[in-house]
């Protein structure tokens, strides 16, 4: 019944773990945070048992986990589904690591550049996003999933056709923390909209010029007093996100350009990408990634229960 604990959902990414005690409808009754998969290596079972101990004190509950917990360095390696693949196949191929604890598989494809590509965790967000935005399941749609490794996903009636990964967030962090281009780590998270938009504009100028020949401007503009310390990080963010968006959209030009681009992720990132997409003449629909992940895990749980009944 609703409001009674029915299962435990876990979004276990590289850097963070979010566990949720959920009712049968997928509503979170309580959430808990824990270390990500990178820090949990070799201790996944112990960390899970400690966090979920009080929830399981009254008896066993089904557990559905997604993300890097299913990677080669995770609790147990889950396979990749080869694309094209239906998101509803995720429940069918759930990998059980022990009684009652299952891990959602990832997905693999040949991307638009002809290279292999993989995802873990985003497939569950995609599944949940279709529950939150039903139009996402209709026709051919383009999805952007910004993050450390941004994913661009082509869907056809809810079937994942192909996707492309860009390490935009990782590159931003590396340049800010390990180069002289943006020196002040304390200012990296400060987001100046004006300077972010200046970076977006720069990404669209002279489209034939390489990103490599633009990056140093974040330092030279600061030395020239045209950017503050905070502004340099925001400018760099705008340049990288604008380059990501400007490079990805033409690769998926076969999709209907009149349709919106669905952007799924953390709100501060989806807002930045939505602005960049708007500057390229497209409409963006933002979907909260945490809500989508929970909705996807709930759907996998319900489908798994149906398959077992």
CA distance 33 to 230: 30
pLDDT in tens, 60-113: 999 999 999 999 999 999 999 999 998 878 888 999 999 999 999 999 999 999
As a whole-number percent, the residues of the chain with pLDDT over 70 amount to: 96
CB of 95 within 8 A of CB of 105? yes
Task: Please state, in angstroms and as integers, the Cα–Cα distance from residue 241 to each residue in 164, 196, 228, 238, 276, following that order.
Answer: 15, 9, 20, 5, 7
Residues facing 17 on adjacent strands: 12, 34
pLDDT value for 304: 87
Residues facing 153 on adjacent strands: 143, 163
pLDDT in tens, 207-222: 889 999 999 999 999 9
CA distance 87 to 66: 13
Task: Please state, in angstroms and as integers, the Cα–Cα distance from residue 64 to each residue in 69, 71, 102, 169, 299, following that order.
Answer: 11, 15, 5, 27, 10
CA distance 39 to 37: 5
Q: What is the pTM of this model?
A: 0.93
Q: Name the 3-class secondary structure at 261.
A: strand
CA distance 177 to 97: 37
Q: Containing H/E element for 71?
A: none
The C-alpha angle with vertex 266 and arms to 264 and 271, in degrees rounded to 5, equals: 75
pLDDT grade for 184, boundaries at 50, 70 and 90: low
Higher pLDDT residue, 185 or 255?
255
Q: Containing H/E element for 259?
A: none
């Amino acid at each position: 019944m609703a409001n009674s604990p029915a299962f435990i959902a876990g979004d276990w990414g590289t850097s963070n773990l979010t566990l949720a005690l959920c009712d049968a409808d997928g509503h979170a009754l309580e959430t808990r945070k824990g270390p990500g998969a990178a820090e949990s290596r070799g201790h996944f079972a112990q960390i899970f048992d400690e966090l979920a101990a009080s929830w399981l004190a009254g008896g066993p509950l089904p557990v559905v986990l997604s993300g890097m917990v299913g990677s080669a360095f995770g609790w147990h390696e889950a396979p990749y589904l080869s694309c094209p693949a239906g998101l509803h196949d995720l429940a069918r191929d759930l990998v059980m690591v022990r009684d009652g604890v299952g891990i959602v598989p990832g997905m693999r494809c040949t991307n638009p550049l002809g290279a292999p590509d993989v995802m873990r965790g985003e497939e569950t967000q995609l599944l949940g996003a279709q529950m939150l935005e039903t139009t996402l399941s209709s026709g051919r749609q383009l999805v952007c999933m910004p993050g450390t490794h941004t994913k661009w996903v082509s869907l056809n009636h809810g079937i994942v056709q192909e996707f492309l990964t860009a390490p935009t967030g990782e590159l931003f962090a590396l340049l800010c923390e390990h180069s002289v281009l943006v020196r002040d780590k304390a200012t990296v998270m400060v987001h100046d909209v004006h300077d972010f938009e200046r970076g977006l504009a720069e990404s669209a100028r002279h489209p034939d010029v390489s990103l490599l020949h633009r990056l140093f401007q974040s330092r030279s503009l600061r030395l020239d007093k045209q950017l503050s310390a905070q502004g340099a990080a925001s400018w760099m963010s705008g340049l990288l996100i604008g380059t990501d968006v400007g490079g990805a959209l033409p690769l998926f030009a076969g999709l209907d350009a009149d349709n919106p681009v669905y952007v799924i992720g953390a709100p501060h990132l989806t807002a930045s990408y939505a602005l960049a997409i708007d500057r390229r003449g497209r409409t963006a629909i933002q979907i909260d990634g945490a809500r989508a992940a929970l909705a996807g895990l709930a759907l996998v749980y319900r489908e798994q229960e149906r398959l077992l009944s």
